[in-house]
A and B are shown apart, each in its own frame.
Chain A
Amino acid sequence: MRHIISLLMANEAGALSRVSGLFSARGYNIESLTVAPTEDPTLSRMTIVTSGSDAIIEQINKQLNKLVDVVSVMDLSDGDHIERELMLVKVRADGADREELKRMTDIFRGRIIDVSDKTYTIELTGAGSKLDKFLLAIDRGLILETVRTGASGIGRGERILKI
């Protein structure tokens, strides 16, 4: 099953590689991993999307907690949460496609953030599945490049990951 795990860790050189090294050494999946400093500059917050049986997810949580640099771990999938990912897509926007692409961008509540005479760059935010659907909805042959951030997640309401 797919899980989205959030963690706070020391904002120190090497901390990221301790986490990614743990996943590769123990053979756990990483679907995506994002990390950036928080409002407290000594802490970074990481969101990892992974998958595995209940036993494996339990081990992932325990092994993450065991890392000395990791301050706090929360499996967001254990409760209500919000998940967002940002995608930038550069498409060939020429002739009749130009109007169609603009229309699809509006339907998906995206924005065109860069325009040239033959291309658009579209910005899209949402759950990963929504971004996937957008890519399926437009003509695949028009896609020049895509870049995605990977998921960031946060608990709903009073579910707070803080030290």
Chain B
Amino acid sequence: MELTGAEITIRCLQEEGVEYVFGYPGGAVLFIYDELFKQEKVKHVLVRHEQAAVHAADGYARSTDKVGVALVTSGPGVTNAVTGIATAYMDSIPMVVISGQVPTSFIGEDAFQEVDAVGITRPCVKHNFLVKDVKDLAVTLKKAFYLAKSGRPGPVLVDIPKDVSNHKTVFEYPSSVNIRSYHPQEKGDASLIKRAAQMLLEARRPMVYAGGGVILSDAAKQLTDLVRLIDAPCTNTLMGLGGYPASDKQFVGMLGMHGTYEANMGMQNCDVLLAVGARFDDRVIGNVAHFNSVPRKIIHIDIDPASISKRVKVDVPLVGDVGSVLTDLVKVLKSSKQKPDAAAHKDWWKQIDEWRSANSLGYKNSSELIKPQFVIETLHKITRGDAYITSDVGQHQMWAAQYYKFDKPRRWINSGGLGTMGFGLPAAMGVQLAHPGAQVACVTGEGSIQMNIQELSTCKQFNLPIKIIALNNRYLGMVRQWQEFFHGNRYSQSYMDALPDFVKVAEAYGHVGILVEKPSDVEGALKEAFARKDELVFLDFRTDSTENVYPMVPGGKGLSEVILAEDL
């Protein structure tokens, strides 16, 4: 029997086991929406802006091990989606975005709602396709899902012209696809793994630096096994939080621009560094020349060969799936008779503990002003550290990363690479749909939340009981902090004037809003919010407007050139 392109699209989604599609209808996708209407297997979540559809699909993907799916129309549907696609691309999130396109005969004629979707998204997708013939549709969608999920994951866009979604052909969904130019290497090279193991066993000051690759590869257990085996301190990047349990004594906190003193000093001073699914980016190691000024051996595990020796030259490159390579590495280490040098390690841990004693995340609490750090610590306490936390971008993001101690992977959902304000709330929608009974909180600021605040409407429609933790300091805090440090306190356009009454905003959308102005009310408000299990609660915390994020390694500086809170 012949099916239309639209029917084929939906059948493909069903075959892939897609549970939710996040989207927004429009002219070019009307046939596809018509088919969505006629079935119940694939549920559609109607957002209020296409950017939010992509972030929601992204949050869904990050909190599960599944591919997120978004559906948008042509023209502005696609351009609105671009920020979401770029966000997913920078953080290697598996995603398929289906976009409508004007009919093939109109392409290139500047038709109504026409943009070159494949051209516009090319630099921010893993791959993309324009489907010109309905006969190619099923195999293209199969390829899209395969590419999105395999190797280094990423978003894949499939652009479907309106006539293609209406043309008919015989439907057959391939069980597998072979792309002759695409063969990601899953297994690490055995001899290099042996060399790495030897290097780790001989290390006097070993350090493990693990990033988002551990989360994407579901390799938290393997990482934990390895770190314990080699008795090394372990740090996580912003993207890697939860990849190693934060409450473990070998964990030294997040590293980088706002990383702990012990993590950054450990990175700088170790003699053997094992980088796992991380990419030495500028916010992580700061000044490359400064980082390279100290000799150390580097072993780097990554599925993407292009990530290896990109910014920092590596001694042992281990290309492969993080989980697979770690498993093999653990096996080799376990079978070795050699044990780590206990005396050297003892000295190293003594040094680490000395750095730890700087207590770089210490802050002075106040009985007058709500400290943002205190809100996050209380949030951790009330949720027993077991919530899914999404965030937007800015100071609140750093505080959430620093003070919510993530013990499990896939619990911390944030836009690390692109740094997209407006990510938090729509991402939380995807997370909540993926985990209906779970506690989901969106830590945000009064700046970020307004970048996608319209999604409060989506949350109402789909009964998503997200808790919005707004650290409202009346400033674009991170901008203000940089202006204080580096621009002579000239707060150019970093204030937030004419703020709405967020309690009323929440109420207007049919939710609950709570204003919190006193430190003594923080815990009670959080308790009340989480007790309201079926309601979205918007907590407007009026926090200390002058608080800064510490420690801080200023841009362009080295990891040991850190500003601590007491330095100022």
| B384 CB-CB contact with A under 8 Å | no
Find the B residue at minimum CB distance from A66. Answer: B306
Are B182's CB and A68's CB within 8 A?
A: yes
| B334 CB-CB contact with A under 8 Å | no
Q: A68-B147, A71-B181 are in contact. Are A62 and B122 (CB under 8 A)?
A: no
A contact residues around B313 at 8 Å (CB): 55
B contact residues around A70 at 8 Å (CB): 181
Are B306's CB and A62's CB within 8 A?
A: yes
Cβ < 8 Å to A, chain B residues 519-541 = none
| A58 CB-CB contact with B under 8 Å | yes
Are B147's CB and A62's CB within 8 A?
A: no
| A38 CB-CB contact with B under 8 Å | no
Interface residue total, chain A, C-beta cutoff 8 A: 21
Q: Which size bracket describes the interface of B in this complex?
A: 10 to 19
| A63 CB-CB contact with B under 8 Å | yes
In whole Å, how far is B311's beta carbon from the nearest beta carbon of chain A?
9
| B127 CB-CB contact with A under 8 Å | yes
Are A9's CB and B181's CB within 8 A?
A: yes
Cβ < 8 Å to A, chain B residues 86-143 = 118-119, 122-123, 126-127, 130
Are A21's CB and B122's CB within 8 A?
A: yes
In whole Å, how far is A125's beta carbon from the nearest beta carbon of chain B?
31
B contact residues around A62 at 8 Å (CB): 305-306
* Bound CA span A70–B130, Å: 18
Are A68's CB and B310's CB within 8 A?
A: no
B contact residues around A129 at 8 Å (CB): none
In whole Å, how far is B148's beta carbon from the nearest beta carbon of chain A?
11
| A25 CB-CB contact with B under 8 Å | yes
In whole Å, how far is B246's beta carbon from the nearest beta carbon of chain A?
33
With most chain A CB atoms within 10 A of its CB, the pick from B119, B123, B306 is B306
A contact residues around B305 at 8 Å (CB): 62, 65-66
B contact residues around A9 at 8 Å (CB): 181
| A41 CB-CB contact with B under 8 Å | no
| B309 CB-CB contact with A under 8 Å | yes
Find the B residue at minimum CB distance from A59. Answer: B310
| A96 CB-CB contact with B under 8 Å | no
Q: A25-B123, A68-B147 are in contact. Are A163 and B180 (CB under 8 A)?
A: yes
Find the B residue at minimum CB distance from A18. Answer: B122
B contact residues around A21 at 8 Å (CB): 122-123
With most chain B CB atoms within 10 A of its CB, the pick from A13, A68, A163 is A68
In whole Å, how far is B339's beta carbon from the nearest beta carbon of chain A?
36
* Bound CA span A25–B89, Å: 15
| B499 CB-CB contact with A under 8 Å | no
B contact residues around A163 at 8 Å (CB): 180
A contact residues around B294 at 8 Å (CB): none
* Bound CA span A66–B179, Å: 13
| B507 CB-CB contact with A under 8 Å | no
* Bound CA span A92–B182, Å: 52
B contact residues around A72 at 8 Å (CB): 181
Are A10's CB and B118's CB within 8 A?
A: no
| B386 CB-CB contact with A under 8 Å | no
* Bound CA span A14–B118, Å: 9
B contact residues around A13 at 8 Å (CB): 130
| B281 CB-CB contact with A under 8 Å | no
* Bound CA span A17–B120, Å: 11
Find the B residue at minimum CB distance from A63. Answer: B306
Produce 1/0 per residue, A1-33, CB < 8 A to B.
Answer: 000000001100110011001000100000000
B contact residues around A25 at 8 Å (CB): 123
Find the A residue at minimum CB distance from B118. Answer: A14
Cβ < 8 Å to A, chain B residues 361-398 = none
| A69 CB-CB contact with B under 8 Å | yes
Are A68's CB and B181's CB within 8 A?
A: yes
Among candidates A14, A55, A69, residue contacting B181 with C-beta atoms closer than 8 Å:
A69
Find the A residue at minimum CB distance from B181. Answer: A71
Are A10's CB and B181's CB within 8 A?
A: yes
Q: A68-B127, A68-B147 are in contact. Are A58 and B309 (CB under 8 A)?
A: yes
Among candidates A17, A63, A71, residue contacting B122 with C-beta atoms closer than 8 Å:
A17
B contact residues around A17 at 8 Å (CB): 119, 122
| B304 CB-CB contact with A under 8 Å | yes
* Bound CA span A66–B182, Å: 8
Among candidates B118, B179, B306, residue contacting A68 with C-beta atoms closer than 8 Å:
B179
A contact residues around B118 at 8 Å (CB): 14
In whole Å, how far is B82's beta carbon from the nearest beta carbon of chain A?
15
In whole Å, how far is B143's beta carbon from the nearest beta carbon of chain A?
9
Find the B residue at minimum CB distance from A13. Answer: B130
Produce 1/0 per residue, A58-86, CB < 8 A to B.
Answer: 11001101101111100000000000000
Q: A17-B119, A18-B122, A21-B123 are in contact. Are A66 and B309 (CB under 8 A)?
A: no
* Bound CA span A45–B309, Å: 28
B contact residues around A14 at 8 Å (CB): 118-119, 122, 130
Pairs A-B, 8 closest by C-beta atoms? A62-B306, A71-B181, A68-B127, A25-B123, A62-B305, A66-B306, A63-B306, A68-B182
Give me 18 A-to-B residue pairs in the complex whose CB atoms sit less than 8 angstroms apart, sorted by A's number.
A9-B181, A14-B118, A14-B119, A17-B119, A18-B122, A21-B123, A25-B123, A62-B305, A65-B305, A66-B305, A68-B126, A68-B127, A68-B179, A68-B182, A69-B127, A70-B181, A71-B180, A71-B181
- 15 new A-B contacts at CB < 8 Å, known A59-B310, A71-B180, A71-B181: A9-B181, A14-B119, A18-B122, A25-B123, A55-B309, A58-B309, A62-B306, A63-B306, A66-B305, A68-B126, A68-B179, A69-B127, A69-B181, A70-B181, A72-B181
